[in-house]
Amino acid sequence: MPFRVFRFAAVNYAVENFINIPNQNGLRCIVMEEKTVKSIAPVSLALMMGIISAILALIIGLIYAGIFSVVISSISHQISTVFPMSTMFGGALVVLIPIFAAVGGFIGGFLQGLIMAVLYNFLAPRIGGVKVRVE
């Protein structure tokens, strides 16, 4: 194949598949179609946000439980002479803190996602939806 034909084919391919404006690194960006999100399924978004919030709350609850267990173990001898059941309650709290944090995180994230989706579906037709680029 002669060089001119190859060069024309390469330029034609680049024009069809890439934007002609180079970015800062000299690379070219792939052309993507821009679409607008018209509405969001409220329960789908609520479940996703609830699960993400539960995972994050569980991680934070485990960190708090670790800190709480260190504090309880350091003062348990002094407290147990006054309140004999305090060590047992402290141990139970170390187990319950991550569980309650995860359940509370799921409920809070679920409600937040539900409210956000309903508000988005109400406002999107009035002010325009979110534009997303897809291939």
pLDDT tens-place string over residues 57-105:
999 999 988 888 887 777 766 666 666 666 677 777 888 889 999 999 9
Is 22 domain-assigned?
Answer: yes
70 CB contacts (<8 Å, ≥6 apart)? none
Q: Are residues 31 and 13 in the same domain?
A: yes
Q: Are residues 54 and 110 in the same domain?
A: yes
- Kindly state the average pLDDT of the residues 117-124: 94
Q: Give the chain's domain count.
A: 2
Cα gap 103→6, rounded to integer Å = 62
Is 132 domain-assigned?
Answer: no
Cα gap 111→61, rounded to integer Å = 20
Task: Please give the structure tokens belonging to residue 85.
Answer: 């059941």
Q: How confident is the model at residue 6, as a pLDDT?
A: 45
What's the domain range around 5?
1-35
Is 102 domain-assigned?
Answer: yes
Please provide the DSSP assignment of the chain as one string: --HHHHHHHHHHHHHHHB-SS--TTS--PBP-EEEE-----HHHHHHHHHHHHHHHHHHHHHHHHHHHHHHHHHHHHHHHTT-TTHHHHHHHHHHHHHHHHHHHHHHHHHHHHHHHHHHHHHHHHHH---EEEE-
Residue pair 62/105 in contact by the 8 Å Cβ criterion: no
Is 135 domain-assigned?
Answer: no
The share of the chain scoring above pLDDT 90, in percent, equals 39
Cα gap 59→66, rounded to integer Å = 11
Name the band, by pLDDT with cuts 50, 70 and 90, for residue 5: very low
Q: Are residues 51 and 92 in the same domain?
A: yes
Cα gap 99→56, rounded to integer Å = 12
